[in-house]
Structure 1
Amino acid sequence: MVDVIKVFLVDDHAVVRRGMRAFFELLPDLEVVGEAPDGKAALDELAVAAASDCLPDVVVMDLLMPRMDGITCIGEVRALYPAVEVVALTSFSEAERVHAALAAGAAGYVLKDADADEVAAAVRAAHAGEVHLDAAVARKLTRSLVGGNEGVSALSSREREVLVLVAQGHSNREIAQQLVISERTARTHVSNVLLKLDLASRTQAALWAIRQGLVPSP
């Protein structure tokens, strides 16, 4: 039996919500359980869902919306409902906007011109406790973050520690426990590692670490 991931859609364009809903309905492991046209409405709907113990697993969130923008809403969702993950789905790839979304607690950042399969992959990754970044966004951010540095030299000592733990298969929660930091801080370190190394997933990070000899191959 397939474990179904409950998804909540937030976008001020009804056609976008309809399109995502139609696509997700074709997938056996994703179910749209609600939607909202802006951040304020999303928080209202999530409060109702929480009262009946029916919170979604993942929220797919636009960033530019009326009443309450996506960045603010991501922070509110993560603060109020820590078990609910958020994936940012937007037309904007500016480094500052991506940093703001990840700092607010987003577990993924996907552009609206990405394939629908990639949006689904980001939702699945978020539900699994992983960070998923659009490849084009990751490349752009790498240039802004790293400049002339390359490879492991671009990482701080703490980020190298996190990379090794990721490669060993540890979740964000386990990384936080081992390094005695908060789970949100662990998530931020993982995001920074992916950005600096121009990688899109934890799996890619693990393979990169093995190739670099940072951890032995399994």
Structure 2
Amino acid sequence: MQPIRVVVADDQELVRAGFAMILDAQPDIEVVAEAADGAQAIEAVAEHAPDVLLLDIRMPVTDGIEAARQVCAAGPCKVIMLTTFDVDDYVYEALYAGASGFLLKDVRRDDLVHGVRMVAAGEALLAPSVTRRLIAEFTGRGAPSGGVRVPSARLGQLTVRERETLRLLARGLSNAEIAAELVVSEHTVKTHVSNVLSKLGLRDRVHAVVFAYEAGAVVPGQE
């Protein structure tokens, strides 16, 4: 099995080196490059084609949000944003830029490794308990400057059951909780989630949740 290839980008050398050392020590993860600013991060991704970019939100030269936007637009590399605060204003911008989630800089070693593995596997790095609060606040702020509202007509691509799955995703439910709600197996839920992402051209669960609110499938605060 090929290792998960990672680029670590942070302007604080000790933070960057610490994360790189932890990740590189894992048998299934390889740190292929480090970057000290956003421009270097973009170049490193272009040169090394990693699976995951661990990227500080606040970066010199090219800020983390713009770097994430360029990286996500250019290819399949998944982006995890590093932030100091769990409700950082920039987190909302990062989700619009295409990031698959975020980690606090004081993250525990095991959670850092688990987070990289999750995102590399196509999962979103937002716990269901966090998703509801984050997305409700996120959508309440409206789209950032230049944000594009998704036309609700795209919901027509989904089957009735897939739309139900999307609605439950937007409420922050896990696969197990969705399975219980719909009275189906977790395997079936995974299939529905995969179909939703594929049909709508979405990167992961985070962006499925954002889509659900923007397309009018649910509204903030709806249960």
Q: TM-score range by the shorter chain?
A: 0.5 to 0.7
Per-residue CA deviation, residues 144-193 of structure 1 (Å, 9 max, x unaligned), is 3699xxxxxxxxxx77432568651138653234xx42224865124688
Counterpart for residue 12 of structure 1: 11
Is residue 108–residue 133 contact of structure 1 (8 Å, CA) maintained in 2? yes
**Residue 48 (structure 1) shift:** 2.7
Separation in 2, partners of 1:18, 1:47: 21
Matched, 1:169 2:193: no
Cα 1:160–1:99, aligned 2, differ >3 Å: closer, same or farther? farther
> Unaligned regions of 5+ residues in structure 2, if any?
141-154, 156-162, 170-174, 179-188, 213-217, 219-223
Match of 1:89 among 71, 82, 94: 82
Is residue 85–residue 126 contact of structure 1 (8 Å, CA) maintained in 2? yes
**Residue 93 (structure 1) shift:** 2.6
Matched, 1:126 2:119: yes
Give the % identical residues: 33
Counterpart for residue 141 of structure 1: 134
Count of residues paired in the alignment? 177
Per-residue CA deviation, residues 12-63 of structure 1 (Å, 9 max, x unaligned), is 01111110111112211111010110111111222333xxxxx111000001
Counterpart for residue 68 of structure 1: 62
Separation in 2, partners of 1:146, 1:67: 29
> What TM-score does the superposition give when structure 1 sets the normalisation length?
0.68
Matches within 5 A, 1:8-47: 8-47=7-46
> Unaligned regions of 5+ residues in structure 1, if any?
50-54, 148-157, 197-218
Counterpart for residue 74 of structure 2: 80
Structure 1 segments (4+ residues) deviating >6 Å:
none
Is residue 58–residue 85 contact of structure 1 (8 Å, CA) maintained in 2? yes
Counterpart for residue 214 of structure 1: none
